[in-house]
Structure 1
Amino acid sequence: MTENGFGQVLGMLRRYPDVEAANLQAWDATDTLLLDMAADLLTPESDVVVIGDRYGAITLALLSDVPSRVPARIRVHQDLITGERALRNNARTLGVAAGFEQLPLGEALLGGADLVLLQLPKTLAELEEISAAVARYASAGTVVLAGGRVKHMSLGMNAVLGRYFESVQPQLARQKSRVLVASRARPAQPQPPYPVTEHNSELHLDICAHGAVFAGTKLDIGTRFLLRFLPDMPEAATAVDLGCGTGILAAMYARAHPASAVIATDQSAAAAASAAATAKANGLDGQVSVLQDDAMASLPAGSADLILLNPPFHLGASVHAGAGIKMFEAAARVLAPGGELWTVFNSHLRYVPTLERLVGPTRIKGRNPKFTVAVSVKRRAG
């Protein structure tokens, strides 16, 4: 239980529809530290923005607080669609029918805010994009409480905040979490810095990236290895780049197979926006459609002939196989009988038996000292 009595609310929260397991929970000590620090600043007139509230812990605890501290307005931005849905699911469980609004990062989210509660992101690029948006759109007197687990924080975070706020004050750590208090926003830059675009001469591709996207505008080594086998991939009427990130796989496959319809999909809003920008920058936006979704949940069963997948092996800060397994299960549903799943993964994960069980017969297409590329064929009925 926290100093301000939020423990009962937090104990009722679930991660669903994100992966759930005994060693994964829907809140952490940073949530409680941010809530306790915010309690001293909140009034019924407060206009609060919550960014990075993974499963709704901060938002729902604020709405469940004593009436004298419940803000007049709470706006929320979560990059992952699973987080958005978890917040709504948890709100229903708690009987919270209203009181918050979910919005993309921008003026509608931040305009007029006087307090921003931020779960610090994993990358400095994402923090840069968030900080630039707060400085651009929030009020001059806005205070930002940016919290994170000490082991994941760096002095680079102070430096990023310092580019956009005149005052950045680190607070004492508690339960291995710490909050940085940023205030007095500096004048906004003429143009928002994101998305950024970089030409990759190896691929002859312009790659566009928002701050929250894995690897930014760079070509990650797993994707590079999978692309070695692009000439061997079948011609598909419909191909899906699952967990598309910046959309490199989607763009490269589309370029090699101009008759194919390609869907780039990711649970991250930043990734979906990046993939759309990458497709447009390379003249492929008429062929590549982009969808923010949770493991292709909105795609019909049996609707794809080919799925390309470079799955994550982290859930937030935790190393966990659940994210990859969820994607394999989704691929098994969406693939047509005889369709193929091409997966690249860290070889130590030993995914082949799981792919055999969930999707179908699996062969190793290639292996290097770090990665394995496997091809799984969806079983035909009967």
Structure 2
Amino acid sequence: MTTDALLGGHALTLHRFPLEQKNRSLQAWDAADEYLIDYVQEHHNQALRILVLNDSFGALTCALKAIGGNQRHIINVNDSFVSQQACKYNLEENQLEQNTVSYLDSLSEYPHDVDLVIIKVPKNAGFLAYQLALLSRLPSSIKVVAGGKAKEIHTSTLKSFSHFLSEPTTSLAVKKARLIFSETTAKPVISKFPVSWPLEKTDFTLTNHANVFSRDSLDIGARFFMNYLPQGKKPLKVIDLGCGNGVIGLMTLCKMPHAELTFVDESAMAVASAKANVLDNLPDALERCRFMQNDCLSDFTPGSADLVLCNPPFHQAQAITDHIAWQMFVQAKQVLKKGGELRIIGNRHLDYQEKLNRLFGNCKVIGNNKKFTVLSTIRRG
């Protein structure tokens, strides 16, 4: 989706990713982005090396570059592959200098030679704590400005800042957005992440990085899906799409001892967790596995997979939307061989069965309970 934004007095054309999504009510920036940019322009306009965390679609990076010009270097840190792709695209779309923007994933150490930190407050409080722990390792007195929806900045959010950084203060709310002000103290605080816990009814222990879905326990959808995973000795090529911590792929490796598994997620922390969990629990199976951070199945070879397993999300960032699930289904059909299967689990109220029938021409229920449905569809054409 394309939208025109006025950020810091600069008109920017911003695209929300994926480009093909059809929900035109969603835009690529919000009031917190506007508030952050206005504050930086007024109070920190001389900052030349800015560390930007969690820039959803590049609005912050693009605006900071438009205001600061080629002298300003932005270090863009994100867990999301889609977010960083959107940022690169939007910089190019607005003819902004790309050479002075660098990218780090969420597991990288932060550079110490920055003079300002900008944070878009993530919804995941544990992920924020992980990021603040990394910031606590930086030299003292670096200003940190965070922004988010006022209703999602809680007392616990401020306690997290005070635990890792200086005692925070907050701004007044503007357009239902609020800013948090703090600074580094050069007193490193150890993060509790990653976390590990035993996987029920197995001898496995799962490791989970801070921003992984259902980080602290097995989610009820995966628990139900595990009852309906395929098994057999054929050397099938299987994809765990939206793999999260990799538990579905891990159990599939047990049930299909000759299968080749590709774990795919747009989260760097999810892919790292999945790889760690295979390495720790089934090290002999590692040679049968690939791990990819990607936008669903974009650029996968058509007709290259026998089976795709998927527990699709129904949100992107903080927006409730089914376009990612639809993208997963469409791309799975392209990637599957003729006769290949897409097997998914979804909340019953989402009516994925109708979508899959429309796309594949067939769909059957292979398991359900009061909350979830497990569906199977075959690529016939």
Instruction: Name the TM-score, length of structure 2 as normaliser.
Output: 0.92
Query: SS at 2:286's partner residue?
Result: coil
Contact 1:251 1:288 in 2 (8 A): no
Cα gap change, 1:360/1:276 in structure 2, threshold over 3 Å: closer, same or farther? farther
Q: Could you say which residue in structure 1 is the equivalent of 2:351?
A: 350
Q: Specify the code of the residue in structure 1 equivalent to 2:9.
A: G
Q: Specify the code of the residue in structure 1 equivalent to 2:79.
A: D
Cα gap change, 1:52/1:71 in structure 2, threshold over 3 Å: closer, same or farther? farther
Contact 2:65 2:72 in 1 (8 A): no
Deviation of 1:148 (Å) = 0.8
My pick for the range that moved more, 366-375 or 156-165, is 156-165
Q: Could you say which residue in structure 1 is the equivalent of 2:54?
A: 52
Q: Specify the code of the residue in structure 1 equivalent to 2:310.
A: L
Instruction: Name the TM-score, length of structure 1 as normaliser.
Output: 0.92
Measure the CA separation in 1 of the matches of 2:305 and 2:311.
17
Q: Specify the code of the residue in structure 2 equivalent to 1:177.
A: A
Measure the CA separation in 2 of the matches of 1:233 and 1:212.
33
Contact 1:235 1:257 in 2 (8 A): yes
For residues 66-106 of structure 1, what are the alpha-carbon distances to aligned partners after superposition, in whole Å with 9 as ceiling and x for unaligned? 65xx7632100121111111111111111113221111246
Measure the CA separation in 1 of the matches of 2:79 and 2:362.
35
Q: Could you say which residue in structure 2 is the equivalent of 1:327?
A: 328
For residues 10-31 of structure 1, what are the alpha-carbon distances to aligned partners after superposition, in whole Å with 9 as ceiling and x for unaligned? xx10013353521111000010
Q: Could you say which residue in structure 2 is the equivalent of 1:92?
A: 92
Q: Specify the code of the residue in structure 1 equivalent to 2:25.
A: N
Query: SS at 1:197's partner residue?
Result: strand
Measure the CA separation in 2 of the matches of 1:81 and 1:336.
26
Measure the CA separation in 2 of the matches of 1:15 and 1:342.
28
Contact 2:196 2:207 in 1 (8 A): yes
Query: SS at 2:264's partner residue?
Result: strand
Q: Could you say which residue in structure 2 is the equivalent of 1:159?
A: 159
Contact 1:120 1:146 in 2 (8 A): yes
Query: SS at 2:287's partner residue?
Result: coil
Q: Could you say which residue in structure 2 is the equivalent of 1:220?
A: 219
Measure the CA separation in 1 of the matches of 2:200 and 2:52.
39
Contact 1:207 1:217 in 2 (8 A): no
Q: Specify the code of the residue in structure 2 equivalent to 1:21.
A: N
Q: Could you say which residue in structure 2 is the equivalent of 1:269?
A: 268
Cα gap change, 1:233/1:239 in structure 2, threshold over 3 Å: closer, same or farther? same
Measure the CA separation in 2 of the matches of 1:106 and 1:353.
39
1:303 aligned onto 2:304: yes
Deviation of 1:211 (Å) = 1.1
Q: Specify the code of the residue in structure 2 equivalent to 1:40.
A: E
Q: Could you say which residue in structure 2 is the equivalent of 1:5?
A: 9
Measure the CA separation in 1 of the matches of 2:374 and 2:310.
10
Deviation of 1:254 (Å) = 0.7
Q: Specify the code of the residue in structure 2 equivalent to 1:166.
A: S
Contact 2:232 2:255 in 1 (8 A): no
Contact 1:166 1:183 in 2 (8 A): yes
Contact 2:129 2:191 in 1 (8 A): no
Number of residue-to-residue matches in the alignment = 373
My pick for the range that moved more, 200-209 or 247-256, is 200-209
Measure the CA separation in 2 of the matches of 1:159 and 1:296.
39
My pick for the range that moved more, 150-159 or 259-268, is 150-159
Query: SS at 1:223's partner residue?
Result: helix
Q: Specify the code of the residue in structure 1 equivalent to 2:58.
A: G
Give matches, 1:152-301, under 5 Å. 152-185=152-185, 187-189=187-189, 192-230=191-229, 235=234, 237-282=236-281, 283=283, 284-301=285-302
Cα gap change, 1:184/1:133 in structure 2, threshold over 3 Å: closer, same or farther? closer
Q: Could you say which residue in structure 2 is the equivalent of 1:103?
A: 104
Contact 1:45 1:71 in 2 (8 A): no
Q: Specify the code of the residue in structure 2 equivalent to 1:22.
A: R
Q: Specify the code of the residue in structure 2 equivalent to 1:291.
A: M
Contact 2:45 2:68 in 1 (8 A): no
Query: SS at 1:274's partner residue?
Result: helix
- After TM superposition, which residue ranges in structure 1, 4 or more long, deviate above 6 angstroms? none
Measure the CA separation in 2 of the matches of 1:344 and 1:296.
18
Deviation of 1:231 (Å) = 5.3
Measure the CA separation in 2 of the matches of 1:81 and 1:120.
18
Contact 1:2 1:36 in 2 (8 A): no
Measure the CA separation in 1 of the matches of 2:233 and 2:352.
22
Contact 1:48 1:71 in 2 (8 A): no
Query: SS at 1:82's partner residue?
Result: helix
Contact 1:166 1:186 in 2 (8 A): no
What's the Cα RMSD here? 2.1
Deviation of 1:153 (Å) = 2.7
Deviation of 1:4 (Å) = 3.4
Deviation of 1:107 (Å) = 6.0
Measure the CA separation in 2 of the matches of 1:201 and 1:66.
52
Give matches, 1:3-42, under 5 Å. 4-6=8-10, 8-9=11-12, 12-17=13-18, 19-42=21-44
Q: Specify the code of the residue in structure 2 equivalent to 1:269.
A: A
1:146 aligned onto 2:150: no
Measure the CA separation in 2 of the matches of 1:313 and 1:274.
21
> Structure 2 unaligned runs (5+)?
none
